[in-house]
Amino acid sequence: MDFSKQSTAVDDDRDRSLSSDELPLSLPIELIVTDAEVIRAACAHEEGGPRDRFLARALRVGVLALKHAVGEIDADRIRRESTEMLKSLDHRLVEHSRVVNDRVTEVLKRYFDPDGGQFQQRVERLIKRDGELEQLLSRHLGEQDSELCKTLSRHFGEESDLIKWLNPDKSRGLLAEMQRALQEQLREQRENVVKQFSLDNKEGALCRFLDELNERQGTLSKDLRMQIDDVVKQFSLDSEDSALSRLVNNVTKAERRITSEFSLDSEDSALARLRRELLKLHKDQQEASQKFQEEVKVTLKELAARRDEAAAGTRHGLDFEVELARQVEFEAQRTGDIATRTGATTGAIKLCKVGDIVVELGPENLAAGAKVVIEAKQKAGYTLAKAREEIEIGRKNRGAEVGLFVFSARLAPETAEPVVRHGDDVFVVWDPEDPQTDLFLRVGLTLARALCVRRKEQSAAEEADFSAIETAILEIEKQAERLGEIETWTKTIENNCGKIRQRLEASRKSLTRQIGRLNSHIDDLKSLVAE
Protein backbone atom coordinates (compact mmCIF):
# COMPACT_ATOMS: atom_id res chain seq x y z
CA MET A 1 0.00 0.00 0.00
CA ASP A 2 1.28 3.49 -0.86
CA PHE A 3 1.04 5.79 2.17
CA SER A 4 0.66 8.87 -0.03
CA LYS A 5 -2.64 7.47 -1.42
CA GLN A 6 -4.05 6.96 2.05
CA SER A 7 -3.63 10.59 3.25
CA THR A 8 -7.02 11.58 1.78
CA ALA A 9 -8.76 8.73 3.57
CA VAL A 10 -7.13 9.67 6.83
CA ASP A 11 -8.24 13.31 6.42
CA ASP A 12 -11.83 12.21 5.73
CA ASP A 13 -11.91 9.96 8.78
CA ARG A 14 -10.17 12.34 11.21
CA ASP A 15 -13.46 13.28 12.89
CA ARG A 16 -14.45 9.65 13.49
CA SER A 17 -13.06 8.17 16.73
CA LEU A 18 -13.85 5.12 18.82
CA SER A 19 -14.08 4.99 22.55
CA SER A 20 -11.59 2.98 24.58
CA ASP A 21 -14.16 0.21 25.17
CA GLU A 22 -14.82 -0.21 21.42
CA LEU A 23 -11.12 -0.50 20.45
CA PRO A 24 -9.78 -4.03 19.79
CA LEU A 25 -6.68 -5.21 21.70
CA SER A 26 -4.77 -5.77 18.45
CA LEU A 27 -5.22 -5.04 14.74
CA PRO A 28 -3.39 -7.14 12.13
CA ILE A 29 -2.29 -5.02 9.15
CA GLU A 30 -0.60 -6.17 5.95
CA LEU A 31 0.94 -3.37 3.90
CA ILE A 32 2.82 -3.15 0.61
CA VAL A 33 5.29 -0.28 0.84
CA THR A 34 6.53 1.45 -2.32
CA ASP A 35 8.19 4.53 -0.79
CA ALA A 36 11.99 4.26 -1.13
CA GLU A 37 12.79 6.02 2.18
CA VAL A 38 10.42 3.73 4.14
CA ILE A 39 11.88 0.62 2.45
CA ARG A 40 15.46 1.75 3.24
CA ALA A 41 14.61 2.41 6.91
CA ALA A 42 12.77 -0.95 7.27
CA CYS A 43 15.59 -2.94 5.67
CA ALA A 44 18.02 -1.49 8.22
CA HIS A 45 16.38 -3.81 10.83
CA GLU A 46 16.39 -7.57 10.95
CA GLU A 47 13.42 -9.31 9.49
CA GLY A 48 10.92 -10.52 12.05
CA GLY A 49 10.38 -9.03 15.48
CA PRO A 50 12.84 -6.08 15.22
CA ARG A 51 11.43 -4.95 11.87
CA ASP A 52 7.82 -5.33 13.03
CA ARG A 53 8.52 -3.29 16.18
CA PHE A 54 10.23 -0.56 14.12
CA LEU A 55 7.30 -0.37 11.64
CA ALA A 56 4.80 -0.26 14.50
CA ARG A 57 6.67 2.67 16.08
CA ALA A 58 6.92 4.41 12.70
CA LEU A 59 3.16 3.95 12.12
CA ARG A 60 2.43 5.41 15.56
CA VAL A 61 4.68 8.41 14.86
CA GLY A 62 2.90 8.97 11.53
CA VAL A 63 -0.55 8.84 13.14
CA LEU A 64 0.50 11.32 15.81
CA ALA A 65 1.98 13.59 13.14
CA LEU A 66 -1.31 13.52 11.17
CA LYS A 67 -3.27 14.39 14.29
CA HIS A 68 -0.89 17.23 15.01
CA ALA A 69 -1.20 18.51 11.43
CA VAL A 70 -5.00 18.53 11.70
CA GLY A 71 -4.66 20.50 14.95
CA GLU A 72 -2.39 23.01 13.19
CA ILE A 73 -5.00 23.55 10.42
CA ASP A 74 -7.77 24.19 12.98
CA ALA A 75 -5.46 26.55 14.89
CA ASP A 76 -4.78 28.58 11.70
CA ARG A 77 -8.50 28.89 11.07
CA ILE A 78 -9.12 30.07 14.63
CA ARG A 79 -6.20 32.51 14.36
CA ARG A 80 -7.65 34.10 11.18
CA GLU A 81 -11.13 34.42 12.66
CA SER A 82 -9.65 35.90 15.85
CA THR A 83 -7.72 38.48 13.84
CA GLU A 84 -10.85 39.62 11.97
CA MET A 85 -12.80 39.77 15.23
CA LEU A 86 -10.07 41.84 16.92
CA LYS A 87 -10.02 44.30 13.99
CA SER A 88 -13.78 44.80 14.23
CA LEU A 89 -13.59 45.14 18.00
CA ASP A 90 -10.77 47.68 17.71
CA HIS A 91 -12.85 49.82 15.29
CA ARG A 92 -15.87 49.77 17.60
CA LEU A 93 -13.75 50.58 20.63
CA VAL A 94 -12.23 53.62 18.86
CA GLU A 95 -15.68 54.90 17.92
CA HIS A 96 -17.01 54.32 21.41
CA SER A 97 -13.96 56.05 22.91
CA ARG A 98 -14.61 59.14 20.78
CA VAL A 99 -18.30 59.31 21.82
CA VAL A 100 -17.43 58.78 25.49
CA ASN A 101 -14.73 61.47 25.31
CA ASP A 102 -17.19 64.03 23.87
CA ARG A 103 -19.76 63.25 26.52
CA VAL A 104 -17.27 63.34 29.37
CA THR A 105 -15.89 66.69 28.12
CA GLU A 106 -19.39 68.18 28.08
CA VAL A 107 -20.27 66.90 31.54
CA LEU A 108 -16.94 68.01 33.03
CA LYS A 109 -17.33 71.47 31.56
CA ARG A 110 -20.82 71.78 33.05
CA TYR A 111 -19.62 70.76 36.48
CA PHE A 112 -16.01 72.03 36.62
CA ASP A 113 -16.11 75.29 34.60
CA PRO A 114 -14.23 77.84 36.83
CA ASP A 115 -16.51 80.67 35.73
CA GLY A 116 -19.89 79.23 36.60
CA GLY A 117 -19.68 75.47 36.98
CA GLN A 118 -21.90 73.64 39.43
CA PHE A 119 -18.88 72.12 41.20
CA GLN A 120 -17.27 75.55 41.70
CA GLN A 121 -20.48 76.97 43.17
CA ARG A 122 -20.90 73.96 45.42
CA VAL A 123 -17.29 74.21 46.66
CA GLU A 124 -17.74 77.89 47.49
CA ARG A 125 -20.84 77.09 49.55
CA LEU A 126 -18.94 74.36 51.38
CA ILE A 127 -15.66 76.14 52.19
CA LYS A 128 -16.81 79.71 52.86
CA ARG A 129 -16.79 80.98 56.43
CA ASP A 130 -19.77 79.58 58.38
CA GLY A 131 -20.42 77.40 55.40
CA GLU A 132 -21.96 73.95 55.33
CA LEU A 133 -18.61 72.14 55.77
CA GLU A 134 -17.61 74.21 58.78
CA GLN A 135 -21.02 73.67 60.39
CA LEU A 136 -20.92 69.93 59.70
CA LEU A 137 -17.41 69.54 61.15
CA SER A 138 -18.34 71.55 64.24
CA ARG A 139 -21.35 69.36 64.81
CA HIS A 140 -19.59 66.05 64.34
CA LEU A 141 -16.01 66.83 65.48
CA GLY A 142 -16.58 69.48 68.12
CA GLU A 143 -16.17 69.29 71.90
CA GLN A 144 -17.40 66.60 74.30
CA ASP A 145 -20.97 66.61 73.04
CA SER A 146 -20.04 65.99 69.37
CA GLU A 147 -21.35 63.03 67.41
CA LEU A 148 -17.85 61.57 67.05
CA CYS A 149 -17.23 61.54 70.79
CA LYS A 150 -20.60 59.93 71.46
CA THR A 151 -20.07 57.29 68.80
CA LEU A 152 -16.55 56.39 70.00
CA SER A 153 -17.76 56.16 73.59
CA ARG A 154 -20.67 53.96 72.59
CA HIS A 155 -18.57 51.55 70.51
CA PHE A 156 -15.21 51.62 72.26
CA GLY A 157 -16.02 52.66 75.83
CA GLU A 158 -15.66 50.52 78.90
CA GLU A 159 -19.26 49.38 78.70
CA SER A 160 -19.25 48.76 74.94
CA ASP A 161 -19.94 45.32 73.43
CA LEU A 162 -16.47 45.25 71.78
CA ILE A 163 -14.62 45.53 75.11
CA LYS A 164 -16.83 42.86 76.58
CA TRP A 165 -16.22 40.61 73.57
CA LEU A 166 -12.41 41.02 73.76
CA ASN A 167 -12.28 40.29 77.50
CA PRO A 168 -10.37 36.96 77.90
CA ASP A 169 -12.13 36.20 81.19
CA LYS A 170 -15.55 35.88 79.54
CA SER A 171 -16.58 32.38 78.59
CA ARG A 172 -18.43 33.75 75.57
CA GLY A 173 -15.56 36.05 74.57
CA LEU A 174 -13.55 36.15 71.34
CA LEU A 175 -10.66 34.02 72.68
CA ALA A 176 -12.96 31.23 73.83
CA GLU A 177 -14.82 31.19 70.51
CA MET A 178 -11.54 31.04 68.55
CA GLN A 179 -10.29 28.16 70.70
CA ARG A 180 -13.50 26.14 70.18
CA ALA A 181 -13.45 26.80 66.42
CA LEU A 182 -9.79 25.77 66.15
CA GLN A 183 -10.35 22.50 68.04
CA GLU A 184 -13.32 21.67 65.82
CA GLN A 185 -11.29 22.29 62.64
CA LEU A 186 -8.36 20.19 63.91
CA ARG A 187 -10.70 17.32 64.75
CA GLU A 188 -12.29 17.39 61.28
CA GLN A 189 -8.88 17.55 59.57
CA ARG A 190 -7.56 14.62 61.65
CA GLU A 191 -10.58 12.46 60.80
CA ASN A 192 -10.25 13.33 57.11
CA VAL A 193 -6.53 12.41 57.02
CA VAL A 194 -7.13 9.09 58.80
CA LYS A 195 -9.97 8.34 56.40
CA GLN A 196 -7.77 9.04 53.32
CA PHE A 197 -5.01 6.67 54.57
CA SER A 198 -7.29 3.84 55.69
CA LEU A 199 -7.36 0.61 53.63
CA ASP A 200 -11.00 0.07 54.60
CA ASN A 201 -11.99 3.12 52.54
CA LYS A 202 -11.85 2.04 48.89
CA GLU A 203 -12.22 5.66 47.76
CA GLY A 204 -9.34 6.85 49.97
CA ALA A 205 -6.09 8.26 48.59
CA LEU A 206 -4.03 5.28 49.81
CA CYS A 207 -6.24 2.68 48.11
CA ARG A 208 -6.27 4.65 44.84
CA PHE A 209 -2.49 4.99 45.01
CA LEU A 210 -2.00 1.24 45.51
CA ASP A 211 -4.31 0.37 42.62
CA GLU A 212 -2.53 2.76 40.26
CA LEU A 213 0.85 1.51 41.44
CA ASN A 214 -0.06 -2.13 40.69
CA GLU A 215 -1.29 -1.15 37.22
CA ARG A 216 1.82 0.88 36.43
CA GLN A 217 4.12 -1.87 37.78
CA GLY A 218 2.74 -4.40 35.31
CA THR A 219 3.31 -2.08 32.34
CA LEU A 220 6.73 -1.06 33.60
CA SER A 221 7.85 -4.67 34.08
CA LYS A 222 6.96 -5.52 30.52
CA ASP A 223 8.77 -2.51 29.02
CA LEU A 224 11.73 -3.04 31.33
CA ARG A 225 12.10 -6.66 30.26
CA MET A 226 12.23 -5.61 26.61
CA GLN A 227 14.80 -2.92 27.29
CA ILE A 228 16.95 -5.31 29.32
CA ASP A 229 16.94 -7.80 26.44
CA ASP A 230 18.14 -5.04 24.07
CA VAL A 231 20.85 -3.96 26.51
CA VAL A 232 22.06 -7.57 27.02
CA LYS A 233 22.22 -8.00 23.27
CA GLN A 234 24.34 -4.84 22.93
CA PHE A 235 26.80 -6.13 25.57
CA SER A 236 27.17 -9.61 24.09
CA LEU A 237 30.40 -10.63 22.36
CA ASP A 238 28.57 -13.31 20.37
CA SER A 239 27.21 -10.65 17.99
CA GLU A 240 29.70 -8.75 15.86
CA ASP A 241 27.30 -5.77 15.55
CA SER A 242 26.87 -5.34 19.32
CA ALA A 243 28.20 -2.22 21.04
CA LEU A 244 30.61 -4.25 23.16
CA SER A 245 32.05 -6.04 20.13
CA ARG A 246 32.57 -2.72 18.32
CA LEU A 247 34.17 -1.24 21.45
CA VAL A 248 36.56 -4.20 21.78
CA ASN A 249 37.52 -3.91 18.10
CA ASN A 250 38.14 -0.15 18.42
CA VAL A 251 40.23 -0.64 21.58
CA THR A 252 42.30 -3.32 19.86
CA LYS A 253 42.90 -1.06 16.83
CA ALA A 254 43.79 1.88 19.07
CA GLU A 255 46.18 -0.29 21.09
CA ARG A 256 47.93 -1.43 17.92
CA ARG A 257 48.11 2.17 16.64
CA ILE A 258 49.54 3.48 19.94
CA THR A 259 52.09 0.65 20.08
CA SER A 260 53.21 1.37 16.52
CA GLU A 261 53.45 5.14 17.18
CA PHE A 262 55.65 4.63 20.27
CA SER A 263 57.98 2.07 18.72
CA LEU A 264 61.47 2.92 17.51
CA ASP A 265 61.43 -0.13 15.22
CA SER A 266 59.35 1.86 12.68
CA GLU A 267 60.96 4.87 11.05
CA ASP A 268 57.52 6.48 10.49
CA SER A 269 56.36 6.22 14.14
CA ALA A 270 55.71 9.37 16.15
CA LEU A 271 58.44 8.50 18.65
CA ALA A 272 61.00 7.96 15.91
CA ARG A 273 60.06 11.29 14.28
CA LEU A 274 60.28 13.00 17.68
CA ARG A 275 63.73 11.50 18.28
CA ARG A 276 64.94 12.70 14.86
CA GLU A 277 63.56 16.21 15.47
CA LEU A 278 65.18 16.41 18.90
CA LEU A 279 68.55 15.26 17.57
CA LYS A 280 68.30 17.74 14.68
CA LEU A 281 67.27 20.54 17.05
CA HIS A 282 70.16 19.70 19.37
CA LYS A 283 72.62 19.71 16.48
CA ASP A 284 71.29 23.03 15.12
CA GLN A 285 71.45 24.54 18.61
CA GLN A 286 75.08 23.48 19.01
CA GLU A 287 76.01 24.90 15.59
CA ALA A 288 74.17 28.20 16.27
CA SER A 289 75.74 28.50 19.72
CA GLN A 290 79.22 27.86 18.36
CA LYS A 291 78.69 30.35 15.53
CA PHE A 292 77.37 32.97 17.98
CA GLN A 293 80.39 32.49 20.26
CA GLU A 294 82.77 32.95 17.34
CA GLU A 295 80.95 36.11 16.18
CA VAL A 296 81.01 37.53 19.72
CA LYS A 297 84.72 36.84 20.05
CA VAL A 298 85.48 38.53 16.72
CA THR A 299 83.31 41.54 17.59
CA LEU A 300 84.91 41.91 21.02
CA LYS A 301 88.37 41.77 19.48
CA GLU A 302 87.45 44.46 16.93
CA LEU A 303 85.95 46.69 19.62
CA ALA A 304 89.00 46.27 21.85
CA ALA A 305 91.32 47.05 18.94
CA ARG A 306 89.40 50.21 17.98
CA ARG A 307 89.27 51.32 21.63
CA ASP A 308 93.00 50.79 22.08
CA GLU A 309 93.70 52.58 18.82
CA ALA A 310 91.55 55.56 19.83
CA ALA A 311 93.12 55.72 23.29
CA ALA A 312 96.65 55.58 21.88
CA GLY A 313 95.97 58.36 19.35
CA THR A 314 96.56 62.05 19.95
CA ARG A 315 92.93 62.99 19.25
CA HIS A 316 91.19 60.68 21.76
CA GLY A 317 90.36 63.64 24.03
CA LEU A 318 89.02 65.62 21.07
CA ASP A 319 86.89 62.64 19.95
CA PHE A 320 85.45 62.41 23.47
CA GLU A 321 84.46 66.10 23.36
CA VAL A 322 82.89 65.67 19.90
CA GLU A 323 80.78 62.68 21.01
CA LEU A 324 79.74 64.53 24.16
CA ALA A 325 78.76 67.61 22.10
CA ARG A 326 76.57 65.43 19.84
CA GLN A 327 74.82 63.86 22.80
CA VAL A 328 74.28 67.24 24.52
CA GLU A 329 72.92 68.78 21.31
CA PHE A 330 70.47 65.91 20.98
CA GLU A 331 69.23 66.34 24.56
CA ALA A 332 69.02 70.15 24.12
CA GLN A 333 66.92 69.75 20.99
CA ARG A 334 64.60 67.40 22.86
CA THR A 335 64.07 69.88 25.73
CA GLY A 336 63.87 73.05 23.61
CA ASP A 337 67.27 74.45 24.70
CA ILE A 338 70.18 75.82 22.63
CA ALA A 339 73.57 74.06 22.78
CA THR A 340 76.71 75.82 21.43
CA ARG A 341 80.21 74.39 21.07
CA THR A 342 82.68 76.93 22.59
CA GLY A 343 85.82 74.86 23.11
CA ALA A 344 87.72 76.56 20.28
CA THR A 345 86.89 80.18 21.30
CA THR A 346 87.97 82.34 24.21
CA GLY A 347 85.52 83.59 26.78
CA ALA A 348 85.23 86.48 29.25
CA ILE A 349 88.67 85.69 30.69
CA LYS A 350 91.49 86.76 28.42
CA LEU A 351 93.07 83.90 26.42
CA CYS A 352 90.95 81.34 28.37
CA LYS A 353 89.08 78.61 26.47
CA VAL A 354 87.75 76.65 29.46
CA GLY A 355 84.17 75.56 28.82
CA ASP A 356 83.62 73.21 25.88
CA ILE A 357 79.82 73.55 25.52
CA VAL A 358 77.30 76.19 26.68
CA VAL A 359 73.59 75.24 26.95
CA GLU A 360 71.15 78.16 27.08
CA LEU A 361 67.72 77.23 28.49
CA GLY A 362 64.86 77.79 26.06
CA PRO A 363 61.91 80.20 26.41
CA GLU A 364 59.60 77.47 27.70
CA ASN A 365 61.79 76.92 30.76
CA LEU A 366 61.15 78.76 34.04
CA ALA A 367 64.77 79.96 33.93
CA ALA A 368 64.72 81.00 30.27
CA GLY A 369 68.06 82.45 29.21
CA ALA A 370 70.08 80.82 32.01
CA LYS A 371 73.30 79.10 30.91
CA VAL A 372 74.93 75.79 31.79
CA VAL A 373 78.62 75.37 30.93
CA ILE A 374 79.88 71.85 30.21
CA GLU A 375 83.54 70.84 30.49
CA ALA A 376 84.62 67.42 29.13
CA LYS A 377 87.80 65.66 30.27
CA GLN A 378 89.31 62.40 29.08
CA LYS A 379 92.61 62.79 30.86
CA ALA A 380 94.29 60.84 33.65
CA GLY A 381 95.10 62.41 37.00
CA TYR A 382 92.02 64.61 37.25
CA THR A 383 90.67 64.56 40.81
CA LEU A 384 87.30 65.87 41.96
CA ALA A 385 88.95 68.89 43.63
CA LYS A 386 90.79 69.81 40.43
CA ALA A 387 87.59 69.33 38.44
CA ARG A 388 85.74 71.73 40.79
CA GLU A 389 88.39 74.39 40.28
CA GLU A 390 88.24 74.06 36.50
CA ILE A 391 84.43 74.09 36.28
CA GLU A 392 84.36 77.22 38.46
CA ILE A 393 86.71 78.91 35.97
CA GLY A 394 84.45 77.66 33.17
CA ARG A 395 81.36 79.26 34.76
CA LYS A 396 83.12 82.60 35.08
CA ASN A 397 84.62 82.37 31.58
CA ARG A 398 81.31 81.58 29.89
CA GLY A 399 79.00 83.63 32.17
CA ALA A 400 77.05 80.53 33.21
CA GLU A 401 75.03 80.03 36.38
CA VAL A 402 75.63 76.27 36.66
CA GLY A 403 78.53 74.05 35.61
CA LEU A 404 78.51 70.40 34.41
CA PHE A 405 81.84 68.50 34.44
CA VAL A 406 81.91 65.21 32.47
CA PHE A 407 84.59 62.61 33.31
CA SER A 408 85.53 59.92 30.82
CA ALA A 409 84.60 56.56 32.30
CA ARG A 410 87.98 55.12 31.29
CA LEU A 411 90.09 57.77 33.09
CA ALA A 412 87.72 58.95 35.86
CA PRO A 413 88.84 58.74 39.50
CA GLU A 414 88.12 55.35 41.05
CA THR A 415 86.03 56.93 43.83
CA ALA A 416 83.92 59.06 41.47
CA GLU A 417 80.14 58.52 41.62
CA PRO A 418 78.13 58.30 38.37
CA VAL A 419 76.30 61.55 39.23
CA VAL A 420 77.11 63.90 42.13
CA ARG A 421 76.42 67.58 42.95
CA HIS A 422 78.60 70.08 44.80
CA GLY A 423 76.89 73.45 45.21
CA ASP A 424 76.00 74.77 41.74
CA ASP A 425 78.20 72.24 39.94
CA VAL A 426 77.28 68.73 38.77
CA PHE A 427 79.86 65.99 38.06
CA VAL A 428 79.04 63.03 35.76
CA VAL A 429 80.93 59.90 34.64
CA TRP A 430 80.11 59.06 30.99
CA ASP A 431 81.35 56.51 28.43
CA PRO A 432 80.48 57.24 24.77
CA GLU A 433 80.83 53.53 23.93
CA ASP A 434 78.40 52.41 26.64
CA PRO A 435 74.78 53.44 25.93
CA GLN A 436 73.84 52.61 29.52
CA THR A 437 75.85 55.62 30.77
CA ASP A 438 73.73 57.97 28.63
CA LEU A 439 71.30 57.93 31.52
CA PHE A 440 74.00 59.46 33.81
CA LEU A 441 74.54 62.31 31.33
CA ARG A 442 70.77 62.89 30.97
CA VAL A 443 70.36 62.99 34.75
CA GLY A 444 73.26 65.45 35.06
CA LEU A 445 71.73 67.80 32.46
CA THR A 446 68.32 67.64 34.16
CA LEU A 447 69.91 68.38 37.53
CA ALA A 448 71.78 71.36 36.05
CA ARG A 449 68.54 72.79 34.60
CA ALA A 450 66.84 72.43 38.00
CA LEU A 451 69.72 74.32 39.66
CA CYS A 452 69.32 77.11 37.10
CA VAL A 453 65.63 77.41 37.99
CA ARG A 454 66.46 77.56 41.66
CA ARG A 455 69.01 80.35 41.09
CA LYS A 456 66.79 82.25 38.64
CA GLU A 457 63.70 82.48 40.81
CA GLN A 458 64.40 84.32 44.07
CA SER A 459 61.03 86.01 44.84
CA ALA A 460 59.13 85.06 48.01
CA ALA A 461 56.01 84.19 46.02
CA GLU A 462 57.71 81.10 44.60
CA GLU A 463 59.35 79.72 47.74
CA ALA A 464 57.00 76.72 47.59
CA ASP A 465 58.32 75.98 44.07
CA PHE A 466 61.90 76.22 45.42
CA SER A 467 61.04 73.57 47.98
CA ALA A 468 59.66 71.31 45.27
CA ILE A 469 62.75 71.86 43.08
CA GLU A 470 65.03 71.19 46.04
CA THR A 471 63.14 67.95 46.74
CA ALA A 472 63.47 66.94 43.08
CA ILE A 473 67.22 67.66 43.13
CA LEU A 474 67.71 65.55 46.25
CA GLU A 475 65.69 62.71 44.72
CA ILE A 476 67.81 62.88 41.52
CA GLU A 477 70.99 62.71 43.61
CA LYS A 478 69.57 59.72 45.50
CA GLN A 479 68.65 57.92 42.29
CA ALA A 480 72.05 58.76 40.79
CA GLU A 481 73.75 56.87 43.60
CA ARG A 482 71.77 53.80 42.59
CA LEU A 483 72.95 54.04 39.00
CA GLY A 484 76.33 52.70 40.13
CA GLU A 485 74.58 49.59 41.46
CA ILE A 486 72.79 49.16 38.14
CA GLU A 487 76.13 49.36 36.31
CA THR A 488 77.54 46.65 38.60
CA TRP A 489 74.54 44.43 37.90
CA THR A 490 75.04 44.93 34.15
CA LYS A 491 78.60 43.65 34.44
CA THR A 492 77.29 40.69 36.41
CA ILE A 493 74.95 39.83 33.49
CA GLU A 494 77.93 39.81 31.11
CA ASN A 495 79.78 37.45 33.42
CA ASN A 496 76.79 35.09 33.47
CA CYS A 497 77.05 34.29 29.75
CA GLY A 498 79.37 31.39 30.59
CA LYS A 499 76.85 30.12 33.13
CA ILE A 500 74.14 30.19 30.44
CA ARG A 501 76.28 28.00 28.16
CA GLN A 502 76.83 25.59 31.06
CA ARG A 503 73.11 25.47 31.73
CA LEU A 504 72.46 24.74 28.03
CA GLU A 505 74.88 21.79 28.14
CA ALA A 506 73.22 20.51 31.34
CA SER A 507 69.78 20.77 29.67
CA ARG A 508 71.08 18.80 26.69
CA LYS A 509 72.37 16.01 28.95
CA SER A 510 69.10 15.97 30.91
CA LEU A 511 67.12 15.72 27.66
CA THR A 512 69.23 12.77 26.57
CA ARG A 513 68.58 11.03 29.90
CA GLN A 514 64.83 11.63 29.60
CA ILE A 515 64.82 10.14 26.08
CA GLY A 516 66.53 7.04 27.45
CA ARG A 517 63.93 6.75 30.22
CA LEU A 518 61.11 7.18 27.67
CA ASN A 519 62.55 4.36 25.53
CA SER A 520 62.73 2.13 28.63
CA HIS A 521 59.09 2.83 29.52
CA ILE A 522 58.01 2.14 25.94
CA ASP A 523 59.78 -1.25 26.04
CA ASP A 524 57.97 -2.08 29.30
CA LEU A 525 54.65 -1.05 27.73
CA LYS A 526 55.30 -3.25 24.69
CA SER A 527 56.05 -6.19 26.99
CA LEU A 528 52.76 -5.68 28.87
CA VAL A 529 50.81 -5.46 25.60
CA ALA A 530 52.46 -8.62 24.31
CA GLU A 531 51.44 -10.51 27.48
Q: What is the mean pLDDT of residues 310-314?
A: 48
How do residues 103-147 score in pLDDT, each as one tens digit?
888 887 777 777 777 777 777 777 777 777 777 777 666 666 666
Are residue 455 and residue 322 in the same domain, yes or no?
Answer: yes
Share of the chain above pLDDT 90, in %: 10
Co-location of 378 and 455 in the same domain: yes
> Residues 337, 480: one domain?
yes
Mapping DSSP to helix (H, G, I), strand (E, B) and coil, where does residue 60 land? helix
pLDDT above 60 for 434: yes
- If we measure between CA atoms, which residue out of 432, 472, 433 comes closest to residue 449? 472
Q: What is the pLDDT of residues 289-300, one digit of tens each?
A: 778 777 777 777
Higher pLDDT, 114 or 184: 184
More confident call, 185 vs 464 = 185
Q: Are residues 425 and 334 in the same domain?
A: yes
Nearest in space to 177 (alpha carbons), one of 168, 189, 186: 168
Residue 181 lies in a domain: no
Together in a domain, 521 and 503: yes
How many domains, in total, are found in the chain? 4
Query: Both 295 and 370 in a single domain?
Result: no
Average pLDDT over residues 87-101: 87
Q: Which domain holds residue 460?
A: 315-487
Question: Do the domain assignments include residue 137?
Answer: no
Q: Taking Cα atoms as reference points, which of 417, 458, 452, 457 lies closest to residue 437?
A: 417
The number of beta carbons lying within 10 Å of the beta carbon of residue 370 is 21
- Looking at per-residue confidence, does 221 or 196 come out higher? 196
- C-alpha 176/C-alpha 311 separation (Å) is 120
* Mean pLDDT of the 465-480 span: 59
- Residues 350, 446, single domain; the answer is yes
Report H helices in 142-269: 147-156, 161-166, 174-196, 205-234, 243-261
CA gyration radius, the chain: 55
Same domain, 509 and 386: no
d(CA 275, CA 269): 10
Percent of the chain whose predicted confidence (pLDDT) is above 70: 70
Shared domain check, 464 and 514: no
| Amino acid present at 147 | E
The larger pLDDT score, comparing residue 198 to residue 526, is at 198
Q: Say if 105 falls within a structural domain.
A: no
Does residue 10 share a domain with residue 88?
A: yes
- pLDDT score, position 249: 80
pLDDT of 407 reads 92
**Which pLDDT band, with edges at 50, 70 and 90, does 339 fall under?**
very high
At residue 521, the pLDDT reads 59
Say if residue 389 is in the same domain as residue 472. yes
Give yes or no for residue 359 having a pLDDT over 90.
yes
Same domain, yes or no: 368 and 381: yes
If you average pLDDT over residues 397-401, what whole number do you get? 91
